[in-house]
Amino acid sequence: MEVIKTDIEGVVIIEPRIFNDARGYFFESYSKREFDEKVGHVDFVQDNESCSTKGVMRGLHFQRPPFAQAKLVRCVKGAVLDVAVDIRKGSPTYGKHISCLLTEENHRQFFIPRGFAHGFAVLSDVAVFQYKCDNYYHPEADGGISITDPSLGIDWGIALEDAILSEKDTRHPLLADFDSPFEL
């Protein structure tokens, strides 16, 4: 696997080595040994999957400490624009984001460390999205910032007025009104 560093320390894009032939393709989607060596030690404990239709936006979510989660995400069907926003107080990149196009064709994965809010927008008719987490989900630790916050400057690839959001995701505060539980 190739690890591509981004402009925010710790957030990386992973490109697997794909073996194509007349039968199709094969790749290792995760190797603990290689991940630990190239990205860092992360003990993933839970895998999740969602299926969404075009225009769905999920996020920007995080789990508050001590239940914070690092995530390794990928799109196995369709295409999504995936985004990580730095919400660590004291970080030189606080409020900045990294986005990554994840598709069934490019097989890319996106690693989001603890201390980041995470979300995605579905660009294809249907998208199946998978992610590994290094901590179990705790509903009482749910947190979020507004996925439509204009101060973040995120180009989601879809018109916000056409976005399909959950009721919960419409209630998250703007970054300016947010008191982050994460310290750098």
Catalytic residue among 61, 97, 107, 118: 61
* Contact of 49 with 22, CB cutoff 8 Å: no
* Contact of 75 with 123, CB cutoff 8 Å: no
Active site residue 61: yes
* Contact of 129 with 120, CB cutoff 8 Å: yes
| DSSP secondary structure code for residue 17 in this structure | P
Q: What whole-number distance in Å separates Cα of residue 101 and Cα of residue 74? A: 10
Structure tokens at 180: 């982050």
Active site residue 136: no
Catalytic residue among 97, 107, 118, 131: 131
Q: Supply the residues annotated as catalytic.
A: 61, 131
